[in-house]
Amino acid sequence: MRETPPQLSLYPTPLHLTLSPLASSLAPKNMSYAVQHLKETAEIVSKLNAADCEKCVAELRATRERGGRLFILGVGGSAANASHAVNDFRKIAGLECYAPTDNVSELTARTNDEGWASVFVEWLRGSRLNGKDCLLILSVGGGNLEKNVSPGFISAIQLAKQVGARVIGIVGKDGGYTATQADACVIVPTVNPNNITPHSEAFQAVVWHLFVSHPDLKVNQTKWESVTPAKP
C-alpha cells in the first residue's frame, strides 16, 4: 500500500516547541544582550546634555530667521541619517536644507576627479556657503585634524569659519574636531566602548527629532499627530 506523504502546514509549530534543550539554554544569553543594549540606551538618555540641545535649536532658529540654509554632512550611516533629517527640517521646521550626499552624481564625480577629502568643501563652495548659513555635522567621531580622520568634515568646518557660517553637531566619542569648533554641539556619551557607532548613529536621529519637534523650531504638524483618533 502506498504511503500518504506528510502534509505541510501553513501554520508551523510554534518556535518554543521546536527548540532543542541546547537552543533553549542559549535563549537567556541572547536575551541578556537586548537588555544590556537597552540599558545602555537609557543611560545615554540620562546623560545627554539638554542645554546643548537647546543651544543647537537656538542656532537653527536663528538660521531660519536670517534666511539662511542648513547643510547636513554625514558619511556612512550618518549620510543616511542626513538624508532623513533634510526632509524633517524642510517639512516640519520650514528650514531650507540640503545634504551633499543626496546628490550621487556630483558626489561620485568629485570623489573620482578630486578625491574624497575635498568632496564636502567643494560642494559647499559650489553652493555659495555664506554667513547666513549653518552646517550640521552628523558623525561618530567628529573628525581628527592631527590624525587626518574624516578630513572632509574638517575642511568643510574650516570653510564655514572662513565665511562666517555657523556650525553645530551631533557627534559621538569626545566630539572630535567638530566639538572644538562648533558653535553648539551635542555629544552622545560613550557608555560602552564596543557600541560607540550604533549608539552614536541611533542618537543622531533621537536628537535631530528633538530639534524639529521643539516648539521654537516646529512650524508644521507631523502627519500622524494631525490625524484625529478614531472613536472606539
CB-neighbour burial class of residue 195 (10 A; exposed 0-12, middle 13-18, buried 19+): middle
Task: For domain 50-219, give the CATH superfamily.
Answer: Glucose-6-phosphate isomerase like protein; domain 1 (3.40.50.10490)
**E strand spans, the chain:** 70-73, 97-98, 134-139, 166-171, 184-187
The percentage of the chain sitting over the pLDDT mark of 90, rounded to a whole number, equals 74
Q: Residue by residue, what is the 3-state secondary structure of 76-127?
A: CHHHHHHHHHHHHHHHCCCCCEECHHHCHHHHHHHHHHHCHHHHHHHHHHHC
- Say whether pLDDT at 44 is over 90: yes
Q: Which carries the bigger pLDDT value, residue 208 or residue 150?
A: 208
**pTM of the full structure:** 0.83
**81-96 pLDDT, tens digit each:** 999 999 999 999 999 9
Please, which residues bridge with residue 170 across strands? 138, 186
Residue 88 CA from chain centroid, whole number: 12
Geometric angle at alpha carbon 71, from 76 and 198, rounded to 5°: 30
Could you tell me the pLDDT band of residue 20, with boundaries at 50, 70 and 90? very low
**Do 212 and 206 meet the contact criterion of CB atoms below 8 Å apart?**
no
Residues 110, 116: Cα–Cα separation, whole Å: 7
Which cell is 187 given? Answer: 555629544
